[in-house]
Structure 1
Amino acid sequence: MKMAITPARRLVGEIHVPGDKSISHRAVMLGSIAQGDTYITNFLMSDDCMSTIRAFRHMGVPIQITDPDTVIVKGRGLRGLTPPKIAIDAGNSGTTARLLAGLLSGQSFSSTITGDESLRRRPMDRVITPLRKMGAHISGVQDKYLPLSIKGGALKGIDYFMPVASAQVKSCLMLATLYADSPSRIYEPAPSRNHTELMLQAFGGRLDINGNEITVYPVSQLYGQHVDVPGDISSAAFFITAGLLVPNSSIILKGVGLNPTRTGILEVYKQMCGSLAIENVSTSGGEKRGDIIVNASHLKGTVIGGQLIPRLIDEIPVIALAATQAEGTTIIKDAQELKVKESNRIATVVDILSRLGASIEATDDGMVIYGPTPLKGNWVDSFGDHRLAMMAAIAGLIASGETVINGWECVNISFPGFYDMLKRLQN
Structure 2
Amino acid sequence: MPSRRFTPPGPLKGRLRVPGDKSISHRALMFAGLAVGTSRITGLLEGEDVLATAAAMRAFGARIERRNDGVWEVDGAGAGSLLQPRGALEMGNSGTSTRLLMGLVASYDISVVFTGDASLSRRPMDRVIEPLRMMGASFEASPGGTLPLMLRGAAPAVPISYTLPVASAQVKSAVLLAGLNTPGITSVIEPVATRDHTERMLAGFGAPIETDDAAGVRIISLRGEADLSPCDVTVPGDPSSAAFFIVAALIVPGSDLVIENVGLNPTRAGLIAVLREMGGRIEEIDAREVGGEPVADLRVSHSALTGIEIDPALAPSMIDEFPVLFVAAAMAEGTTRTSGLEELRVKESDRLATMAQALKLAGAKVTEREDGLTIIGTGGEPLSGTPAGASVETRLDHRIAMAMAIAGLASKDGVAIDDTAPIATSFPTFADLLERAAAST
TM-score (norm 1): 0.98
Amino acid aligned to 1:136 = A
Please name the residue that 2:109 is paired with: 108
Please name the residue that 2:129 is paired with: 128
Secondary structure of the structure 1 residue equivalent to 2:37: strand
Kept in 1: contact 2:47–2:425 (CA 8 A): yes
- Cα offset for 1:403? 2.1
- Cα offset for 1:69? 3.6
Secondary structure of the structure 2 residue equivalent to 1:67: coil
Secondary structure of the structure 2 residue equivalent to 1:186: strand
1:11-410 counterparts in 2 under 5 A? 11-67=12-68, 69-142=70-143, 144-153=145-154, 154-211=156-213, 212-372=218-378, 374-378=382-386, 379-410=391-422
CA distance in 2, matches of 1:4, 1:322: 19
Shift in alpha-carbon separation, 1:395–1:223, aligned structure 2, 3 A: same
CA distance in 1, matches of 2:336, 2:226: 50
CA distance in 1, matches of 2:49, 2:103: 18
Kept in 2: contact 1:5–1:402 (CA 8 A): yes
CA distance in 2, matches of 1:225, 1:362: 46
- Cα offset for 1:164? 0.5
Q: Decide which moves more: 150-159 or 255-264.
A: 150-159
CA distance in 1, matches of 2:328, 2:262: 20
- Cα offset for 1:68? 6.3
Kept in 2: contact 1:45–1:69 (CA 8 A): no
- Give deviations 1:234-285, integer Å, cap 9, x for gaps: 0000000000000010000010001000000010011101001101111123
CA distance in 1, matches of 2:165, 2:51: 30
CA distance in 1, matches of 2:288, 2:297: 10
Amino acid aligned to 1:127 = V
CA distance in 1, matches of 2:129, 2:159: 15
Secondary structure of the structure 1 residue equivalent to 2:376: strand
Kept in 2: contact 1:184–1:216 (CA 8 A): yes
Overall identity of the aligned pairs, in %: 43
- Give deviations 1:80-124, integer Å, cap 9, x for gaps: 221111011111000110000011111122111111111111010
Kept in 2: contact 1:206–1:219 (CA 8 A): no
Secondary structure of the structure 2 residue equivalent to 1:216: strand
- Give deviations 1:271-317, integer Å, cap 9, x for gaps: 10100110111112321111011000000111113320000000000
Secondary structure of the structure 2 residue equivalent to 1:176: helix
Amino acid aligned to 2:349 = S
- Cα offset for 1:182? 1.4
Amino acid aligned to 1:114 = T
Please name the residue that 2:432 is paired with: 420
Shift in alpha-carbon separation, 1:319–1:149, aligned structure 2, 3 A: same
Secondary structure of the structure 1 residue equivalent to 2:27: helix
- Cα offset for 1:210? 1.5
Kept in 2: contact 1:191–1:307 (CA 8 A): no
Kept in 2: contact 1:205–1:219 (CA 8 A): no
For structure 2, the 5+ residue unaligned runs are: none
- Cα offset for 1:217? 1.5
Kept in 1: contact 2:124–2:144 (CA 8 A): no
CA distance in 2, matches of 1:2, 1:143: 31
Q: Decide which moves more: 270-279 or 400-409.
A: 400-409
Kept in 1: contact 2:135–2:160 (CA 8 A): yes
CA distance in 2, matches of 1:161, 1:348: 31
CA distance in 2, matches of 1:213, 1:220: 19
Amino acid aligned to 2:22 = K
Amino acid aligned to 2:383 = L
Q: Decide which moves more: 240-249 or 104-113.
A: 104-113
Q: Decide which moves more: 331-340 or 80-89.
A: 80-89
Kept in 1: contact 2:80–2:225 (CA 8 A): no
Q: Decide which moves more: 88-97 or 103-112.
A: 103-112
TM-score (norm 2): 0.95
CA distance in 2, matches of 1:258, 1:134: 34
Shift in alpha-carbon separation, 1:220–1:187, aligned structure 2, 3 A: closer
Amino acid aligned to 1:251 = L
Kept in 2: contact 1:384–1:407 (CA 8 A): yes
Kept in 1: contact 2:5–2:415 (CA 8 A): yes
CA RMSD, 1 decimal: 1.1
Q: Decide which moves more: 397-406 or 235-244.
A: 397-406
Kept in 1: contact 2:385–2:415 (CA 8 A): yes
Kept in 2: contact 1:358–1:374 (CA 8 A): no
Amino acid aligned to 1:267 = A
- Give deviations 1:62-88, integer Å, cap 9, x for gaps: 110113642111111102221111011
CA distance in 2, matches of 1:340, 1:193: 18
Shift in alpha-carbon separation, 1:69–1:385, aligned structure 2, 3 A: farther
Aligned length: 427
Kept in 2: contact 1:128–1:139 (CA 8 A): no
Shift in alpha-carbon separation, 1:365–1:222, aligned structure 2, 3 A: same
Q: Decide which moves more: 111-120 or 356-365.
A: 111-120
